[in-house]
Amino acid sequence: GQNIDQPTEMTATEGAIVQINCTYQTSGFNGLFWYQQHAGEAPTFLSYNVLDGLEEKGRFSSFLSRSKGYSYLLLKELQMKDSASYLCATTDSNYQLIWGAGTKLIIKP
């Protein structure tokens, strides 16, 4: 079967660091995406990992371990505008995106 798990909600403080985890089981694997979705808006692309390791892009980094079926999104120097849902999505053997339910991140001052 195909399954993606991520926490439903997380809370963090402005200026801090937060790590959002994602575990997946898919029939075949062809990369993992992280998208950000503000309330009432469409998802926007954050990162893409296809090989193991850490990809850093400014305040955001994404990590992938294919052998463990695991990824995380790391957000540093949190800002209030980072309050959003973060969606993990993998591509299966047909290169279709399989989406997680998303993690709602709440940033407190």
Residues of this chain that bind another protein (CB under 8 A): 4, 30-31, 33, 40-45, 48, 50, 87, 89, 91, 94-97, 99-102
Least distance to another protein from the beta carbon of 109, Å?
A: 25
* CB closer to another protein out of 17 and 54: 54
d(CA 95, CA 77): 33
Spatial contact of 84 and 107, defined as CB atoms under 8 Å apart: no
In this complex, which beta carbon is closest to another protein, that of residue 41 or of residue 77?
41
Pairing status of strand 103-108 against strand 9-13 = parallel
CA torsion, points 50, 46, 2, 64, in degrees to nearest 10?
A: 40
Indicate the residue among 8 and 109 with the shorter CB distance to another protein: 8
